[in-house]
Amino acid sequence: MLYLYDGPLNVATILKEWYEQEASSNYGAYISFVGTVRSEDNIEGLSFDIYEPILNSWFDAWQKKAAAKGAIIKMAHSRGDVMLHESSYIAAVFSPKRRVALELIDEFVEDFKASAPIWKYDLRGEKRVYALERSTAIKGSGLLK
Amino acid sequence: MVRVEFLGPIQKEPLMLEITNLKELASILQEDESMKEWLENCAVAVNDMLVCSREIELKDGDRVALLPPVCGG
């Protein structure tokens, strides 16, 4: 359950939809993470490129890992521009008991930051500047150097 | 022919190359001054699967992608 949107996420709607989708699924825990664009270094917002084929296979592998623990993961992300105080990323885990969801949301969001094929740019004036210094090289990088 | 794509912030048009493995691709891209820094920090996918060996053989119709450092969220 991976949802991609053009522009900012409607946080209240997405969290409500996910809640309603699983309201009768007998999960005891629903734990969400909402990422919001903060004001720092005079940026006006952020912008994102996504490579969907690899994002989909990365997410499917996580969904299998969650399923082995009786849990499911949902994730939403923005494409394009997201301005200050808007949201670009939501992740959530539903699980029978709280401990699985608490641990999975931590592992999932950390691996997302390190591995998901999404590129972030700072918006400054008319410019879209790749945020290289805040980015992480994917495991195995440098193969062709 | 193998199609080579440069994802995210790499400002480079796709290439169509007659190559049979990633070693040959490395040699070609190492000659390109604009790719020097990207080669240090890019991961490589063949047909949308990340790979970690240059020994992988490539055949006609394969797609290679270079993925620079990521930062979702």
- What is the average per-residue pLDDT within A8-30? 98
Taking only the tens place, the pLDDT of each residue in B27-60 is 999 999 999 999 999 999 999 999 999 989 999 9
Average pLDDT, chain A: 97
Residue A93: inside a domain: yes
pLDDT-based confidence at residue A43 (cuts at 50, 70, 90): very high
Nearest residue of B to residue A121, measured between CA atoms: B9
Residue A24 forms part of a structural domain:
yes
A137: phi then psi, degrees, rounded to nearest 5: -70, 135
Q: Is residue A21 part of a domain?
A: yes
Q: Are A135 and B70 in contact (CB under 8 A)?
A: yes
Tokens 């005079």 correspond to: A42
A61 CA: distance to closest CA in chain B (Å):
12
Show the domain range for A10: 2-126
Q: Which residues contact A71 (CB under 8 A, 6 or more apart)?
A: A27, A93, A94, A95, A96, A100, A101, A104
Strand A87-95, strand A118-124: pairing: unpaired
Contacts of B22 in chain A (CB under 8 A): 143-144
Give the pLDDT band of residue A22 (cuts 50, 70, 90). Answer: very high
pTM over 0.90: yes
Verify whether the Cβ–Cβ distance A140 to B73 is below 8 Å: no
Residues of A whose CB is below 8 A from B43: 137-141, 143
Is residue A25 in a domain?
yes
Residues 6+ apart with CB under 8 A from A29: A93, A94, A95, A96, A97, A98, A100, A101, A102
Q: Is residue A138 part of a domain?
A: no
All structural domains of chain B, each given as residue ranges with its CATH number in brackets, are 2-67 (3.10.20.30)
- The Cα-based distances of A49 to A79, B60, B71 in angstroms read 6, 28, 10
Domain presence at residue A134: no
Q: Report how many domains make up chain A.
A: 1
For position A108, which CATH number holds? 3.90.1170.40
Q: What is the pLDDT of residue B10?
A: 97
Reported residue count of chain A is 145
Query: Would you tell me which residues 22-81 of chain A have a C-beta closer than 8 angstroms to some C-beta of chain B?
Result: 35, 48-51, 53-54, 57, 77
Report residue A48's pLDDT band, with 50, 70 and 90 as the boundaries. Answer: very high
pLDDT band at A40 (very low <50, low <70, confident <90, very high): very high
- Nearest to B43, CA basis, from A139, A38, A122: A139
Q: For residues B9 and B35, what is the distance between their CA atoms, to the nearest angstrom?
A: 12
Flag whether A28 is in a domain.
yes
Q: Say what the pLDDT of residue A80 is.
A: 98
Residue A79's pLDDT is what? Answer: 98
Over the stretch A56-86, which tens digit does the pLDDT of each residue have? Answer: 999 999 999 999 999 999 999 999 999 999 9
Distance from CA of B15 to the nearest CA of A (A): 16
Q: Would you state the pLDDT for residue A115?
A: 95
A122, containing H or E segment = strand A118-124
The reply to whether A137 falls in a domain is no
